[in-house]
Amino acid sequence: MRTVLSPPAGESLGEKSFSTGTPLGIGVGPDGTLYYADIGIVINSQGIGPGSEGTVRRIRFVDGEPQPPELMGRGLAFPDGIGIYVLRRK
C-alpha cells in the first residue's frame, strides 16, 4: 500500500474541490494505470457534497512512479464508479 495521489500542499476543501479531484470510484487497468471517478466534493453553506462538475481521471506510472492525474472526461453528473473493459483479440 502506498499513496499515489494527494491534494497539493496548501489546498483545502471548500467552495472549490481539490485540483486533483476527490476520488470516489477507483479501477485498475491491466497495465497498472489507475482510473478514478470524481464527484468533485465541495463544502458550502448547505454542507458537504458533490460539486457541479464530475470528472474521470487516470494516473499512469512511469518506471514505477505515479504521474500527475490526466483528465479523461468532465461535465459528468455524479460519476461514482469506474468499469474497465479490456478487449481481448482472438
Averaged confidence pLDDT in the chain = 94
**Which pLDDT score, from 0 to 100, does residue 90 have?**
80
pTM of the shown model: 0.88
C-alpha span between 43 and 73 (Å, rounded): 23
Mean pLDDT of 66-70: 96
Inside any domain, residue 9: no
In a domain, residue 42? The reply is: yes
Percent pLDDT > 70 in the chain is 100
Q: Is residue 10 part of a domain?
A: no
Number of domains the chain is built from: 1
Residue 70 pLDDT class (50, 70, 90 cuts): very high
The overall longest dimension of the chain from CA atoms, in Å, is: 55
pLDDT band at residue 34, thresholds of 50, 70 and 90?
very high
For residue 27, the enclosing domain spans: 23-76
